[in-house]
Structure 1
Amino acid sequence: MSTQTLTLVLIAIGVLAVATIVTVLVVRRRRAQLPAGTDRPRVPGAPTDGDDQLGAGGTTTTAPTGSAGSVGPSAPALQTPEGVGARLVRLRSRLARSGALGQALLAVLGRDHLDEAAWEELEETLLQADLGIDPTTSLLTSLRTRIRVDGTKDPVAIRALLRELLLEQVDPTMDRSLATTPVLGADGEPHPATILMVGVNGTGKTTTVGKLARLLVAQDKDVVLGAADTFRAAAADQLATWGSRVGVDVVRSAKDGADPASVAHDAVTAGARAGADVVIIDTAGRLQNKSGLMDELGKIVRVASRPAPIAESLLVLDATTGQNGLRQARVFAEVAHLTGIVLTKLDGSAKGGIVVAVQRELGIPVKLVGLGEGADDLAPFEPEAFVDALLG
């Protein structure tokens, strides 16, 4: 090889080496400029696109975005749900803004003379508030007797008497606690407390499931959600969004239209495997007069209760539906063995009598109430605060 040829070869090698070094430096500089977390290695067990684990019923367990093991700059920070105390303060305040029923009652009772026309007006007011015929008759009979015996016309005394009788109708002695303690299953092992949420279309059931998950997380409970409304893909997506905000896993179908009972079973199984405290199962909204849909709900109840008894079966009712809501409750009680009621849109309006009517009809308590669109606008029902709000 000539000297000239050797020189050219050495020059070519040098140029290649310099180019390689420059390329490495550029790549390192670009990586350094990427957002934090972009180049982090995948944590073992963390979900990535396409490798979520399928359950026995063809379900997918979706890890909440932003939870431990999540990857990527788009992962949002987990939210801290509001505690029960703060919720109750806010809900009492909202209830107190409205007292249409109490104002109407007190306006009549404050008259100098209560004739039959006045008592008929009181009866009409209570019936329009959806209190129901029997509770209305009972309350007015007691009220007439007490006013006649006491002979009082003092507005403060009459208000106190009305409060006492209304509170009696709401029944503060009913157990309104929510069963959230793990129970022993058929296998002798502890299983999460299963809460089944049922109701007709349009009551805000899926949203209520998400809000309930936040309430339980605020109480330091480990929660798993089951998206057993398999006919609406949006319902499962909605639950996934709620879960991502507070670090709660969601068990959902891997395909639309899957058997909802299978999803419910897989959610209970996943909850037990994860050592969760509570599993909340969302079901599809259904009309109470559709026997096929109610039979399907019965199947969900049977399948979900096989590992361990269902701890709570809650009916979500729109408080503004009045007596129609009462008819809904009767049918769901037969199929789902209801243990409690969740009333949404309970704003202390003149329709608040549905609380008394539904409890009296079914013998089960209103346990939770919703009073707004906010994520934490769900709280335990307080009879005293409710009655005080009605009276203004």
Structure 2
Amino acid sequence: MHPGAPPPAAAEVSDTGCVMEIVILAVVIAVVALGAISGLVVSSRKKKQLPPAPPSSPSVTAPPAEPHVGEEAEAPSEEKRRTVEEVELPPAEEPAVAEPVVEPAAPEAPAAPEIEVPEPTEGRLVRLRARLSRSQNSLGKGLLTLLSREHLDEDTWEEIEDTLLTADVGVAPTQELVERLRERVKVLGTRTPEELRGLLREELLALIGTDTDRSVHTEPGVGPDGEEKPGVVMVVGVNGTGKTTTTGKLARVLVADGKSVVLGAADTFRAAAADQLQTWGERVGARTVRGPEGGDPASIAFDAVKEGIAESADVVLIDTAGRLHTKTGLMDELGKVKRVVEKHGSVDEVLLVLDATTGQNGLVQARVFAEVVNITGVVLTKLDGTAKGGIIVAVQRELGVPVKLVGLGEGADDLAPFEPEAFVDALIGD
């Protein structure tokens, strides 16, 4: 051992003491550090604030604030607490009185159309004479002017013939009339205006015919089963001749003569035809029998006659669909309608509606219709709008049936029974 060195036991004790000091120091440092961390955490919790509330909006209600606790608790309110007995209940609200429920007023039913009283048919053509004469002056006045010439040479007679042909009198009737006028003028010699007017009037009346039955036959008859049936009238014609309108006006003519009428809307191919016919019927108190659009025309016509029998009506008018005379299928269907209606009894009248402005083309139409349904009379429409009144003569010659009614305007009572004397007087003037 070196001199002055500590003994071994003392060295070990010294080393142990150093270790202990180091451990104690580490523990102290850890405690201090832990305390500092805890202090920071507590401090941060105290300083943590709620996020600022968003700006208040009139349409947004802020949620109720959370209650504060601990150091943040608010001081208690000094308001005196009330007992249960001191708290007053809010006044009871009076029960609301239910307002009476006002039922909406039911829509008023449309007023029934006022029943009209048609003009009397007797003398109706005379009342319409001025209207007729305005459109026919070129025929009557033209003939009188030519016949009044001092010398009636061949050129004058050719002009007379041309005037008659232009008025659609027809070739054969024109030749007959010219020949008769030639003979009578030669015998007459001197010719005053009055004599010429009388001469022309006589010859035109002879050409048109005054002894023909022009009445529309609507007398009730007896059906196959022995029961009484109304008179049945079918109205036929091509498209555009005014057939449905003529049927409505004919109803007015019959009502004016004191007859009760049932209308059959057998024109199912034109959407507005049934509505149009029903409107005409309502104006004079006539019932309209109709079916679905595109339905069977023969079935509707049959039902119309059946309804007429049930109502003891005087007349049943059947409006058929307009059709081209060149369409064989449509013409055959028209024949079917007539055959079906005849199961109730005979058809008393088949009236063909012709447009007077169609001239000679109307004769072709008339010929085809007559072959299919046996025409018994003709209705000439738009006679006031044409100077071709001679078509009356041509149609009668072609069909061998009389013109029974003429249309002289757009008015409801402008359909008139044809009167040859009134027609010729309007033709040649006073």
TM-score (norm 1): 0.82
Give, as a single letter, the amino acid of the residue that structure 1 aligns with 2:366.
A
Alignment partner, residue 42 of structure 1: none
Residue of structure 2 in register with 1:322 after alignment: 359
Aligned-pair distance for 1:75? 2.5
CA contact (8 A) 2:349 2:376 kept: yes
> Superposition RMSD on alpha carbons, in Å?
2.1
Whether the 8 Å contact between 2:350 and 2:373 is mirrored in structure 1 is: yes
Residues 187-202 of structure 1 mapped to structure 2, 5 A cutoff:
187-202=225-240
Deviations 1:39-64 (A, max 9, x none): xxxxxxxxxxxxxxxxxxxxxxxxxx
Q: 1:265 maps to which residue?
A: 302
Q: How does 1:69-108 map to 2 (within 5 A)?
A: 72-85=109-122, 87-98=124-135, 99-108=137-146
Question: How many residues of Structure 1 are paired with residues of Structure 2 in the alignment?
Answer: 338
Partner residue, 1:281: 318
Aligned pair 1:179/2:256, yes or no?
no
Q: 1:229 aligns with which of 242, 251, 267?
A: 267
1:342 corresponds to which of 379, 384, 389? 379
Offset, 1:349: 4.1
Q: Residue 359 of structure 1: CA displacement?
A: 0.6
Stretch of structure 1 that moved more, 297-306 or 347-356 = 347-356
Which of 168, 180, 191 is residue 142 of structure 1 equivalent to? 180
The alignment status of 1:23 with 2:60, answered yes or no, reads: no
**AA of the residue aligned to 2:261:** V
> Which structure has the larger Rg over C-alpha atoms?
2
Confirm or deny that 1:123 pairs with 2:161.
yes
Q: Matches of 1:355 and 1:118 in 2, distance apart?
A: 25
Alpha-carbon contact 2:170-2:394 (below 8 Å) kept: yes
Is 1:165 the counterpart of 2:203 in the alignment?
yes
- Give unmatched runs, 5+ long, in structure 2: 1-91
CA 1:161/1:348 → structure 2, altered by over 3 Å: closer, same or farther? farther
Q: Distance in 2 between matches of 1:291 and 1:75?
A: 42
Deviation per residue, 1:217-274 (Å, 9 max, x gap): 1122111111111111110111111112111111111x22111111111111111111
1:306 matched to 2:337? The reply is no
8 Å contact 1:224–1:267 — kept in the other structure? yes
Helix, strand or coil: the match of 2:290?
Answer: strand
Equivalent residue number for residue 256 of structure 1:
293
Q: Which residue in 2 is equivalent to 1:245?
A: 283
**Fraction of identical pairs, as percent:** 64
Partner of 2:63: none
- How many angstroms does 1:150 deviate by? 1.7
CA distance in 1, matches of 2:128, 2:322: 26
Q: Distance in 2 between matches of 1:181 and 1:92?
A: 29
SS for the counterpart of 2:128 is helix
1:90, distance to aligned residue in structure 2 (A) = 2.7
Counterpart of 1:166 in structure 2: which amino acid?
A: L
SS in 1 for 2:410: coil
| Range with bigger deviation, 241-250 or 85-94 | 85-94
**Contact 1:80–1:246 under 8 Å retained in 2:** yes
In structure 1, C-alpha distance between the alignment counterparts of 2:171 and 2:110, rounded to whole Å:
59
Q: CA deviation at 1:106?
A: 1.1
Q: Which amino acid aligns with 2:138?
A: A
State the structure with bigger RCO (CA 8 A, min sep 6), 1 or 2. Answer: 1
In structure 2, the residue corresponding to 1:226 is in which secondary structure? strand
Aligned to 1:275, the other structure's residue is in SS state coil
Structure-1 separation of matches of 2:257 and 2:191: 46
Question: CA 1:73 to 1:284, structure 2 compared with 1: closer, same or farther past 3 Å?
Answer: closer
1:121 deviates by 0.8
**Aligned residues of 1:100 and 1:349 also touching (Cα < 8 A):** no
- In 2, Cα distance between equivalents of 1:320 and 1:292: 26
Deviation at 1:80, TM superposition (A): 1.8
Aligned-partner SS, 1:288: coil
Q: Which moved more, 1:91-100 or 1:157-166?
A: 91-100
Q: Could you tell me whether the CA contact under 8 Å between 1:101 and 1:349 is conserved in 2?
A: no
Cα shift at 1:128: 0.8
User: Following the alignment from structure 2 to structure 1, what is the Cα–Cα distance between the partners of residues 403 and 242?
Assistant: 16
Shift of 1:73: 4.2
CA–CA distance in structure 2, aligned partners of residues 376 and 86 of structure 1? 12
- Distance in 1 (alpha carbons) for counterparts of 2:401 and 2:130: 26
The residue that corresponds to 1:210 in the other structure is: 248
Greater Cα shift, 368-377 or 87-96: 87-96
Question: What secondary structure does 2:214 align onto?
Answer: coil
Question: Contact 2:356–2:386 at 8 Å: present in 1 too?
Answer: no
Other-structure match for 1:112: 150
**Cα distance between partner residues in 2 of 1:220 and 1:388:** 29
Amino acid at match of 2:401: I
Say whether the 8 Å CA contact 1:349–1:390 is kept in structure 2: no
User: SS of 1:347's equivalent?
Assistant: helix
3-state SS, counterpart of residue 84 of structure 1: coil
